Amino acid sequence: MEKITKPTPDEIRELLKSRDVTREKAAGLVHVGLRTFHSWVSPIGSTNYRPMPVATWELLLIKLDAHSVYKRVDNMDTGCV
């Protein structure tokens, strides 16, 4: 199995763009506030930057159907996530 590592802010932004998902929607998917999500996509070295935890990154990958191993089993349209 491919090892999941902490994403860079660029990787997070690229995932959201490829799935046409806003930061607001992504924050809701991983159950954090928007301010926290913004800190994960801030430039590395900026005062606001915080690395996204690996478990959160993996959850986001799964929920956006971008994980290399695990796939979604529910439908986002039903409200069950």
Q: What predicted TM-score, i.e. pTM, was given to this entire model?
A: 0.83
Question: Is 77 part of a structural domain of the chain?
Answer: no
CATH of the domain at 18: 1.10.260
pLDDT tens-digit profile of 1-57?
578 889 999 999 999 999 999 999 999 999 999 999 999 999 999 999 999 999 999
**What domain range is 24 assigned to?**
9-71
As separate numbers, helices (DSSP H) first and strands (DSSP E) second, the chain gives 4, 0
Model confidence at 79: pLDDT above 60: no
Tell me what pLDDT residue 73 has: 64
Looking at the structure of the chain, the number of domains it has is: 1
Tell me what pLDDT residue 13 has: 98
Question: Is 44 part of a structural domain of the chain?
Answer: yes
Question: Is 81 part of a structural domain of the chain?
Answer: no
Question: Is 80 part of a structural domain of the chain?
Answer: no
Nearest to 73 by CA among 2, 28, 65: 65
Q: Are 52 and 40 in contact (CB under 8 A)?
A: yes
Mean pLDDT to the nearest integer, 47-75:
86
Question: Is 65 part of a structural domain of the chain?
Answer: yes
SS3 51: coil
The tokens of 6 are what? Answer: 């902490």
Tell me what pLDDT residue 80 has: 52
Q: Hey, which bits of 8-78 come out as E strands?
A: none
